[in-house]
Chains A and B, each alone.
Chain A
Amino acid sequence: MSSIDIPLEAYLTIAAALFCIGVWGLINSRNAVRVLMSIELMLNGVNINLMAFSSYLDGTEIRGQVYAIFVITVAAAEAAVGLAILLSLYRNRDTVDMERFNLLRW
């Protein structure tokens, strides 16, 4: 049986690292496209968690895989709408710099 000798914690560690890198990129990116990429990284980290739990703790009823499918669906929808908003914003403001999207700030 595969995936028995690698501990569950190894997958959780990778998922945590991916999520934290995504959070860091989300905070520190100036380019709006890179912000969307960071969100995709975070969603992938969550998906690795779901799949690891599904394989190690719930091998017969693979509910984690069902949830992962829903997460992938929502991520695809989010990417499409997010990039459409980004294009619209770029046409109106002529920039993708997150620091200059401050119309509603103060």
Chain B
Amino acid sequence: MPPLAEITQLIVFGVLATAVVVGALGVVMLPNIVYSAFLLGGVFLSVAGLYLMLNASFIAAAQILIYVGAVNVLILFAIMLVNKKEAMGASPGIGLRRVLSTGVCLGLFALLLRVAFSTPWATPGPAAIGEDAVIRLGEHFFSDYLLPFELASVLLLMAMIGAIVLARRDVLATDIGTGESVDQGLIEKARTPLLMEKP
């Protein structure tokens, strides 16, 4: 009879694993995209639970803050903003594509499983440091991973400015020759034929 802690751990792992896989299947298969978005939040939370089981409490908190708090909310806002009921017309060869892609994904899954189970992993490795992980993370960020850390901040700044520039409607520039505005707002108003569907 194994001790109670191990049984609890197994049960928690089973519940989290089921939630991750079933939730992910729901995200890609449910017809209503709002349900998909909320299920995606559930998948993110379950993955955070798996991180807790892997001795990574800081990453679990970061996962909840960033994924559930920011990315998922952003996706929900995008769904609200592009909320247009449109019938996706039938596309030629969609059945064949679906069968082929399912085959490719199952093959990829089998390949990954074969690699995971045939490689002689060097377990058990050194014992995990547990709650000292946050201290070790900080040491890494300010010593040997300092350059990627600073580059990540530059990347976030670029993404912020890029998202604002891409999503704003106002006119940012005017044509030098004609003096007319040459930006998003004008393109929307003019509905230039280039951007429209060919009949």
Contact = CB atoms under 8 A, between A and B. Distances in A.
A32 B33 CA distance: 11
B33 A31 contact: yes
A76 B91 contact: no
A99 B91 contact: yes
Query: What bracket does the count of chain B residues touching chain A fall in?
Result: 35 or more
Contacts of A51: 50-51, 54, 56, 59
Contacts of B86: 95-97
A94 B134 CA distance: 46
Contacts of A86: 78, 82
For the complex, would chain B's binding face be called helix, strand, loop or mixed by DSSP majority?
Answer: helix
B82 A87 contact: yes
Interface in A35-92: 36-38, 40-41, 44, 47-48, 51-52, 54-63, 65-66, 68-70, 72-81, 83-88, 90-92
Contact of A62 (B71, B122, B129, B163): B129
Contact of B108 (A23, A70, A99): A23
B56 A96 contact: no
Contacts, number: 268
Nearest to B62: A72
B43 A81 contact: no
For the complex, would chain A's binding face be called helix, strand, loop or mixed by DSSP majority?
Answer: helix
Given A33-B82, A62-B136, A97-B86, A81 B121 contact: no
Q: Which of B77, B124, B163 has the most CB atoms of chain A within a 10 A radius of its CB?
A: B163
Contacts of B181: none
Contacts of A77: 155-156, 158-159
Given A2-B53, A23-B104, 17 more contacts: A3-B54, A20-B105, A30-B88, A32-B82, A33-B82, A34-B28, A40-B71, A41-B27, A65-B137, A72-B66, A77-B155, A86-B82, A87-B166, A90-B82, A91-B188, A95-B84, A96-B84
Interface of B: 2, 6, 9-10, 13, 17, 20-21, 24-25, 27-28, 33, 36-37, 40, 43-44, 47, 50-51, 53-56, 58-59, 62-63, 66-67, 70-71, 74-75, 77-79, 81-82, 84, 86, 88-89, 91, 97-98, 101-102, 104-106, 108-109, 112-113, 116-117, 121-129, 133, 136-137, 140-141, 145, 148, 152, 155-156, 158-160, 162-164, 166-167, 169, 184, 187-188, 194-197
